[in-house]
Amino acid sequence: RGKRAFIAGVADDNGYGWAIAKSLAAAGAEILVGTWVPALNIFESSLRRGKFDESRKLPDGSLMEITKVYPLDAVFDDMESVPEDIKTNKRYSGSSKWTVQEVVECVKQDFGSIDILVHSLANGPEVSKPLLETSRNGYLAAISASSYSFISLLSHFVPIMNPGIFLILYAFTFLASCGASISLTYIASEKIIPGYGGGMSSAKAALESDTRVLAFEAGRKHKIRVNTISAGPLRSRAAKAIGFIDMMIDYSSANAPLQKELSAEEVGNAAAFLASPLASAITGAVVYVDNGLNAMGVGV
Ligand code: NAD
């Protein structure tokens, strides 16, 4: 059978999650997505009404099928940790089973297992504030939504992820099945990017460090690979909310070794490669998909 992928963080057709879903679907994977609860209604109705049909087109002309959309809030591990005001919030009370533990339980009941986990979500309520002006709550919220959410998703999904199985045939070793996870990070983790505030730079640094430690733990214990893609700037909904995305895109076009605008599809294709057996020896890596901008020391 084809691989099954769960992509957390898809709520429209503009972001990296959508592009990764498309590249995985084009490579033959079955697609399940996790959509942030407050964005669920509009995403599902747009999907139903055909608003995304143009961008569902795959290279062979067929349309990407999303087998199931799960409501998800990756800030909550289980129902016990959800505060009363969220439980009774209108945007949440219309859906159920959206904590990480419940979503994984539902995926298990519906499909039994997955092969690929993609984390394409981030949130920093104080992202527009400099780090020096960030509150403790804002900082912790950024880390919770953007870094710990990956640890939580991976630890809950690992028991139902098909491990990489190595087959030795004659003189060759094949990786028959994959078991891979991918997240999205940003260079603000390691270089100063003024404007990427609120502890989001710290959250990405944590995510990259966790990628290495989780690669060790999930690799040894479950034969699962863990990588992160450090992506260049894209005009997604989340990026527009930060407020400096056009400037970052212009800066990249002017200064990167490859002077072109980065497309979400290029990140999607890199993710499909990293999730595939072609990347069977790559784990614990931060892979730059940014037209090479990270390699520049000064802009010219
Ligand atoms: P996006 O808006 O398409 O994706 C972010 C998603 O996160 C949204 O769908 C949002 O609903 C979801 N989300 C937020 N909080 C959530 C929660 N608590 N539970 C579940 N879902 C939640 O924007 P994007 O830019 O494609 O972001 C995807 C990833 O790519 C993020 O990790 C982001 O930091 C990273 N990234 C983006 C850029 C860029 O320039 N756009 C560059 C590098 C890395």
pLDDT tens for each residue of 214-256: 999 999 999 999 999 999 999 999 999 998 999 999 999 999 9
Query: Is the ipTM here above 0.85?
Result: yes
Mutate to test the pocket of ligand 1, among 10, 35, 236 (most ligand atoms within 8 A of CB): 236
Calculate how far, in angstroms, residue 174's C-alpha sits from the geometric centre of ligand 1.
34
CB 77 within 8 A of CB 152: yes
Q: Give 125-162 pLDDT, tens digit per residue.
A: 999 999 999 999 999 999 999 999 999 999 999 999 99
Phi, psi of 33 (to 5 degrees): -125, 155
98 C-beta closer than 6 A to ligand 1 = no
Question: Does the CB atom of residue 121 touch ligand 1 within 6 A?
Answer: yes
Active-site residues, by number, are 186, 196
Nearest CA to ligand 1 atom 15: 123
How far does the centroid of ligand 1 lie from the alpha carbon of residue 27, in Å? 23
Instruction: Count Cβ atoms below 10 Å from residue 11 Cβ, excluding itself.
Output: 24
CB 181 within 8 A of CB 218: yes
Question: How far apart, in whole angstroms, are the C-alpha atoms of residue 261 and residue 283?
Answer: 28
